[in-house]
A and B are shown apart, each in its own frame.
Chain A
Amino acid sequence: MLHLLKARLKHGYQAIPDPLTVGIDPAFPGLPELARDADLTLLNELCPTQAFTPQGLDLGRCIFCGLCSRKYPEMITFTPNYKMAADSREKLIMAPGQTALPKIDFILPRKFRYSFALRSVSAAGCNACEMELGASNNVNFDISRYGVETVASPRHADGLILTGPISRNMADALAETWQAIPEPKYLILCGACALSGGLFAESEASDRAFLKHWQACLYIPGCPAHPLSIISAIVSIMKGS
């Protein structure tokens, strides 16, 4: 036991004081900014997930690989802005010249202002988003300081946070988990795979019918979504940005 205490003293206080305003390494691929004259078709040919729509870059499909910004740095750069969430799929499209995402209008009811329980479902992804979700609960990022916790049983949860592209095998399990959550409940999609299928969008093994029935209230892009993105997104729907 003494060695545990010694280790603790050596670690010191590792929590980030304020995850909502902390700076991040400038190399971090956060919110992309398109130049006004960016050639979207050219960029789309490069893109592994064809994330460039005629309106702009769809953050829901972007896997932040950086191929486009390395080839055409004058057309697109990834800024280290980790606040990338939106409350509808359309708002995730970054038009050329846009420097920030529109504000999140959706706010959870008042009762969830200080306490929000999430049930995480991992629907056949690569597990990177799950690891980042787990990291947001760790000593550094610590989302529990805002009253958000991950619970074991969907009956105890207020919302379901989905990661992964939803395969055929996971479709029923996901639907059952969603049915088991009591009202009022909210669906949060985290990561490119959850938002659009990501790299697995055209796979025959995927079954995204669940998302046609149920509307999510929060979309967090990223591949994987950074813990700071997750934290700022969830806190902004709890308390309002």
Chain B
Amino acid sequence: MSIGILILLIALIPALWKRSDFFVILWILGSAFLAYEYMEVLYSRSVQDFILMMPEPVGSVSIALNKLSAFFGVIFSLGLPLGMFYGHFYLKEHPSESLGSHLFWLGVMGLSMHCLLWVRHSLIFLMFWELMSLSSFFCVLFSKRENLEAGLNYLITMQLGAVFLIAGFALAYIQSGTFDFSGFEKMNSLPMYLILIGFAFKAGVFPFASWLPQAHPVAPAHVSGIMSSMLVKTGFYGILLIISINHISLLEIGIFCLVFSISAFWAVCHLLNERNLKRVLAYSTVENVGIAGLGVCAGLLGLQANLPNMAMLGFTGAFLHIFFHSIFKAQLFYSSGNILLATGTLDIDEMGALAKGMPRTALMTLVGIMAICALPLTSGFISEFTIFKAMFEVPDAVHLSQILPGLMILGVLAFIGALAIIAFIRIYAIVFLGSPRSPAAENARELGRGIRLPIAVLSLAILITGILPNVALRFVKPLIRWFGLDMAYFAELQSLMSQISYVYLILLALFALLYIIRKLVVKEKRGATWACAYPKVRPRMQSSSITYVQPLAYFLKPFMYKKTRRLKEEGDFTSKVEYDEQHLDAVWDIIVRPLSRAIFKFLSLFSHIHNGKTESYITWSLAFLVLLLIWVVGFR
């Protein structure tokens, strides 16, 4: 077995004793070993495996790593220790009775994520999958009563997904006769769809993603960060597993395109209206998973249309996006944790001018925001560039039916990108810039160095992979080769990326030149913001989170679900009105909630059966027995 996993197991011990420092140190050590092993698998050996013999009906369990698992494994082994490190400092500020159990479940969650990648046996995979869901539920809960509703929502949604997975794996076993993943090649479409839906629950794909915006805001920042950047990726890992084994027809590719496009678009429309910082980031995770999924669709389209260039670019873009997203999403979640600690609130309408009190966090968050908007100089741009480039290869295809999905993805991706830019500029501007909207924002101060370190490390990673993209490309290369995609074009892509690096060099040189000139030439003075000399300028006169979106709402109104209520009106000439506006989640509040309410209403019709009297229960049982008798005897 792996030394790394052993060390991670040992790390659970200090967790139970509430020694989070040893916990973190052991995690870093274990992850380092694991990272080394994953890198080895990725670059040199093809598979590392051995077979574990378990009693029937489990049978022989093959423990093996292929390149796909190793790729995700590297992401996990780099991201999880950073998350634990951040959690150590975050939890110091949030002292809790249940620190020990929280750390324990954190450790179990991380461990199960790693173990998932090693097993290639359906039942054991399911076991670790359930363990991961359960442990993450406890992590989200963090022993707070108010987290219970969101946590339970998360747990039940995950179980629903697991139902699909179990059904799919069971059908696959029936059809292929083995539990091993190699049997999946013989699946037909029904188990494949079931398994894909099961993984889609975890990955956050429309319409199964409503758990994300509910679970993330309540969870502590390090848990949100780990979940968004890595837990969600396990779902994507599952999807990629199925895709790498099975053949996908053109119709199915079309369905994937549609689902991922709707998922990303739906997420962005919700994103634009949210006031809670972490909900915004949660919806953004759904959007980015949609973008990565569109990259996979582009790759599949390329394979189907016999365009090796497009296939290579699509898959590379998807892998890069997964890798980069886990970096910048984790960074943004940790920054939001810092903001929560500094101001005590996650409501952006209570913030403003945080850049004055927390300049370094503001700068690092700017890097994260630029990455999530896919602006140049950051890694977000590189992955979107690759996916866009894949789309532009599509005109070489022969059939119209192959070109149309590609062009549709192109338009959707560009539009979503533009909307995401608007949304995140809104977030950054309202939180960090302007003037403070509440005393909490005015008094926000920079936090300690320890809690800023993971954010700094991740920001550096964003900038390095953004300016020198070949570093990341070298990491993705073995995976592309394993997928059987064209390596000559990959070399072309690498040279393209180095050209982009030169362009960045020119950009930065121009910037430095102009900035130095400005520094030498300009004499600055400070004055009040120009507001037409209005004497009573108040911070609440700045743009708030709702007004910023108002011009867009002209178009997107059908997609922005708002419920408004006037709460109080007094007198004939109304002097005081209270007004409540809520933004609803399309799937959860419009489909699931009313449905469940209708079900409850229907079931309540039968409530008089549960009246607590033993006599009526005996009567019901008697009636049932009589009916049973009639049914059994009467049908002779």
Decide whether A and B assemble into one complex: yes
Interface, chain A (partner B; CB < 8 A): 153-155, 172-174, 176-177, 179-180, 182-183
A180 contact set on B, CB distance < 8 A: 527-528, 530, 533
CB distance from A138 to the nearest CB of B (A): 25
Distance in angstroms between the alpha carbons of A183 and B523 in the assembled complex? 9
Q: Is the CB of A176 within 8 A of B528?
A: yes
Distance in angstroms between the alpha carbons of A176 and B534 in the assembled complex? 9
Distance in angstroms between the alpha carbons of A155 and B523 in the assembled complex? 14
CB distance from A80 to the nearest CB of B (A): 38
A173 contact set on B, CB distance < 8 A: 533, 535
A174 contact set on B, CB distance < 8 A: 533
A183 contact set on B, CB distance < 8 A: 523, 525
Q: Is the CB of B533 within 8 A of A155?
A: no
The contact string, 1 if C-beta is below 8 Å from chain A, for chain B 514-527, is 00000000010101
Distance in angstroms between the alpha carbons of A105 and B535 in the assembled complex? 38
Interface, chain B (partner A; CB < 8 A): 523, 525, 527-528, 530, 533, 535
Which of B523, B528, B533, B535 has the most chain A CB within a 10 Å cutoff? Answer: B533
Which of A174, A177, A180, A183 has the most chain B CB within a 10 Å cutoff? Answer: A180
Q: Which residue of B lies closest to A182 (CB)?
A: B525
Q: Is the CB of B535 within 8 A of A179?
A: no
Q: Is the CB of A172 within 8 A of B525?
A: no
B528 contact set on A, CB distance < 8 A: 176, 179-180
Distance in angstroms between the alpha carbons of A62 and B589 in the assembled complex? 74
B530 contact set on A, CB distance < 8 A: 153-155, 180
Tell me what chain B mostly uses at the interface: helix, strand, loop, or mixed: loop
Q: Is the CB of A172 within 8 A of B523?
A: no
B527 contact set on A, CB distance < 8 A: 179-180
CB distance from A55 to the nearest CB of B (A): 37
Distance in angstroms between the alpha carbons of A177 and B535 in the assembled complex? 11
Q: Could you list 20 A-B pairs, sorted by A, with CB under 8 Å?
A: A153-B530, A154-B530, A155-B530, A172-B533, A172-B535, A173-B533, A173-B535, A174-B533, A176-B528, A176-B533, A177-B533, A179-B527, A179-B528, A180-B527, A180-B528, A180-B530, A180-B533, A182-B525, A183-B523, A183-B525
Q: Which residue of B lies closest to A176 (CB)?
A: B533
Q: Which residue of B lies closest to A184 (CB)?
A: B523
Distance in angstroms between the alpha carbons of A176 and B535 in the assembled complex? 9
Q: Which residue of B lies closest to A179 (CB)?
A: B527
Distance in angstroms between the alpha carbons of A50 and B8 in the assembled complex? 96
A179 contact set on B, CB distance < 8 A: 527-528
CB distance from A200 to the nearest CB of B (A): 21
CB distance from A160 to the nearest CB of B (A): 12
Distance in angstroms between the alpha carbons of A179 and B531 in the assembled complex? 12
Distance in angstroms between the alpha carbons of A174 and B535 in the assembled complex? 11
CB distance from B605 to the nearest CB of A (A): 68
CB distance from B623 to the nearest CB of A (A): 84
Which of B527, B530, B535 has the most chain A CB within a 10 Å cutoff? Answer: B530
CB distance from B376 to the nearest CB of A (A): 29
CB distance from A67 to the nearest CB of B (A): 37
- Beyond contacts A172-B533, A182-B525: 11 other A-B pairs, Cβ-Cβ < 8 A, are A153-B530, A155-B530, A173-B533, A174-B533, A176-B528, A176-B533, A180-B527, A180-B528, A180-B530, A183-B523, A183-B525
CB distance from B528 to the nearest CB of A (A): 7
Q: Which residue of A lies closest to B535 (CB)?
A: A172
B535 contact set on A, CB distance < 8 A: 172-173
Q: Which residue of B lies closest to A174 (CB)?
A: B533
Distance in angstroms between the alpha carbons of A158 and B530 in the assembled complex? 15
Distance in angstroms between the alpha carbons of A176 and B530 in the assembled complex? 9
A182 contact set on B, CB distance < 8 A: 525
CB distance from B191 to the nearest CB of A (A): 66
CB distance from B612 to the nearest CB of A (A): 75
CB distance from B295 to the nearest CB of A (A): 45
CB distance from B525 to the nearest CB of A (A): 7
Distance in angstroms between the alpha carbons of A19 and B523 in the assembled complex? 37
Distance in angstroms between the alpha carbons of A180 and B523 in the assembled complex? 14
CB distance from A197 to the nearest CB of B (A): 21
A-B residue pairs, 4 tightest by C-beta? A173-B533, A176-B533, A180-B530, A179-B527
CB distance from A150 to the nearest CB of B (A): 15
CB distance from A120 to the nearest CB of B (A): 13
B523 contact set on A, CB distance < 8 A: 183
Distance in angstroms between the alpha carbons of A153 and B532 in the assembled complex? 8
A153 contact set on B, CB distance < 8 A: 530
Which of A154, A174, A176 has the most chain B CB within a 10 Å cutoff? Answer: A176
Distance in angstroms between the alpha carbons of A183 and B527 in the assembled complex? 12
Distance in angstroms between the alpha carbons of A91 and B533 in the assembled complex? 33
CB distance from A177 to the nearest CB of B (A): 5
CB distance from A111 to the nearest CB of B (A): 13
Distance in angstroms between the alpha carbons of A102 and B6 in the assembled complex? 97
Distance in angstroms between the alpha carbons of A201 and B530 in the assembled complex? 30
CB distance from A95 to the nearest CB of B (A): 40
CB distance from B499 to the nearest CB of A (A): 39
Distance in angstroms between the alpha carbons of A153 and B531 in the assembled complex? 9
Distance in angstroms between the alpha carbons of A174 and B532 in the assembled complex? 10
CB distance from A118 to the nearest CB of B (A): 16
Distance in angstroms between the alpha carbons of A180 and B528 in the assembled complex? 7
CB distance from A213 to the nearest CB of B (A): 16
Distance in angstroms between the alpha carbons of A154 and B532 in the assembled complex? 9
Distance in angstroms between the alpha carbons of A154 and B533 in the assembled complex? 10
Distance in angstroms between the alpha carbons of A179 and B535 in the assembled complex? 14
A176 contact set on B, CB distance < 8 A: 528, 533
Which of B525, B527, B528 has the most chain A CB within a 10 Å cutoff? Answer: B527
B525 contact set on A, CB distance < 8 A: 182-183
Q: Which residue of A lies closest to B529 (CB)?
A: A180
CB distance from B634 to the nearest CB of A (A): 88
Distance in angstroms between the alpha carbons of A173 and B535 in the assembled complex? 8
A154 contact set on B, CB distance < 8 A: 530
Distance in angstroms between the alpha carbons of A166 and B533 in the assembled complex? 15
Q: Which residue of A lies closest to B522 (CB)?
A: A182
Q: Which residue of B lies closest to A173 (CB)?
A: B533
A177 contact set on B, CB distance < 8 A: 533
CB distance from B522 to the nearest CB of A (A): 10
CB distance from A181 to the nearest CB of B (A): 9
Distance in angstroms between the alpha carbons of A155 and B530 in the assembled complex? 8
CB distance from A152 to the nearest CB of B (A): 9
Distance in angstroms between the alpha carbons of A179 and B525 in the assembled complex? 10
CB distance from B529 to the nearest CB of A (A): 9
CB distance from B561 to the nearest CB of A (A): 39
Distance in angstroms between the alpha carbons of A154 and B529 in the assembled complex? 11
CB distance from A15 to the nearest CB of B (A): 32
Q: Which residue of B lies closest to A175 (CB)?
A: B533
Distance in angstroms between the alpha carbons of A90 and B4 in the assembled complex? 90
CB distance from B334 to the nearest CB of A (A): 37
Q: Which residue of A lies closest to B533 (CB)?
A: A173
Q: Which residue of A lies closest to B528 (CB)?
A: A176
B533 contact set on A, CB distance < 8 A: 172-174, 176-177, 180
Distance in angstroms between the alpha carbons of A182 and B535 in the assembled complex? 20
Distance in angstroms between the alpha carbons of A175 and B530 in the assembled complex? 12
CB distance from A168 to the nearest CB of B (A): 13
Distance in angstroms between the alpha carbons of A154 and B530 in the assembled complex? 8
Distance in angstroms between the alpha carbons of A167 and B270 in the assembled complex? 51
Distance in angstroms between the alpha carbons of A182 and B530 in the assembled complex? 12
Q: Which residue of B lies closest to A156 (CB)?
A: B530
CB distance from B530 to the nearest CB of A (A): 5
CB distance from A219 to the nearest CB of B (A): 24
CB distance from B283 to the nearest CB of A (A): 37
CB distance from A20 to the nearest CB of B (A): 34
Q: Which residue of A lies closest to B523 (CB)?
A: A183
Distance in angstroms between the alpha carbons of A101 and B606 in the assembled complex? 104
Distance in angstroms between the alpha carbons of A153 and B523 in the assembled complex? 19
CB distance from B534 to the nearest CB of A (A): 8
Distance in angstroms between the alpha carbons of A12 and B278 in the assembled complex? 64
Distance in angstroms between the alpha carbons of A149 and B525 in the assembled complex? 24
Q: Which residue of A lies closest to B534 (CB)?
A: A173
Q: Which residue of B lies closest to A121 (CB)?
A: B533
